[in-house]
Amino acid sequence: MESQEGPNSGTVVSVSNPIVTLVTSEAFPNLDSDEAGLPDALRERGIEPRIAIWNDPDVDWSQAGTVVIRSVRDYAPNRQQFIEWSKTVPRLLNPAHVMEWNTDKHYLQDLAKLGMPTINTIWLEPSDNLTRHQVHTRFPAFGDFVVKPAISSGGRGTGRYTSTDAKSRMNAINDAMHHLERGRTVMVQRYHQEVDHSGEISLIYLNGLPSYMVKKEPMLHPRFRAGDSLQEEIVHSKQATEDEWRWGERIRLALHKYIKQKSGRDEQLLFNRVDIVRGGPNDEEEFYVMEISLIDGSLYLSADEQNLEQFADAIAVRAFW
């Protein structure tokens, strides 16, 4: 609580610092380690930071101020509950309807319809009641490929397989059937070799503005399988090239065009992480969209001290609105 002189001489008005609640999950009660410095950065900006678990029944979200989604790593297995909860929070960033769309990677189909170059994907739907043989016939005939559920967080349930190796192909079938039998849509994508050559690029937008970029080393090595423990993600803070920001801007504009089509109005997103990979020498496209992260995707705040400062500034802009 701060005090300042009021408009009339001799009066003092109490002014409360705005509240920002950073939302997490039970597994990260004090936020992910990448975000550990965020509460202090918000205090330095005159904000009262709080941390709350999204499905804690004792939290009064009407008193939570500006609510910023962060380490909600468990939203995928509790998707419907998470969506219903998000729609009850008054000042939620990013907006509930945008996050609902982003919880299911079918959103890549919407981006493709808007002309975005996405990785070719075979969608295996539980309603198709596919047999093991039918799943087998839908895998690529050569090269490495990736199998993953359409609803997941942090790469969980993702595996890389080799199409010409019988054991690997059998493991891929088992992986796909595991998800299908539990009512989960499965994505099958040819592994994009350029990830191994030049890495994956994450472009971070804060309040709609291009802010910073990181490059990520490949995580799905040839021996990686679904169910393995995910290795630590290795990222490097880099200056984005003019081309990379141009590609990111194309995706950002397509995203906002879709939001406006669906909701009737545009939405300023607090954060938007655009993951892309360069096209290879034999590809028709300059780049491909890998993902758009509007929920709990890492913003790589510890990759460079300025990343944390920029995110705290972006939150402060919204908190003081």
What's the mean pLDDT in 212-219? 86
CA distances from 67 to 199, 219, 306 (A): 33, 31, 22
Give the chain's radius of gyration (CA, Å): 21
Under a CB-based contact definition with an 8 Å cutoff, are residues 168 and 129 in contact? Answer: no
Least reliable range by pLDDT among 176-180, 191-195, 241-245? 191-195
Nearest Cα residue to 214 out of 244, 193, 242: 244
Residue 157 CA, distance from chain mean position: 16
For residues 149 and 121, the answer to whether their CB atoms sit within 8 Å is: no
Q: Could you tell me the pTM of the whole model?
A: 0.90
pLDDT digits (tens, 9 = 90+) for 306-317: 999 999 999 999
Give 42-92 pLDDT, tens digit per residue.
999 999 999 999 999 999 999 999 999 999 999 999 999 999 999 999 999
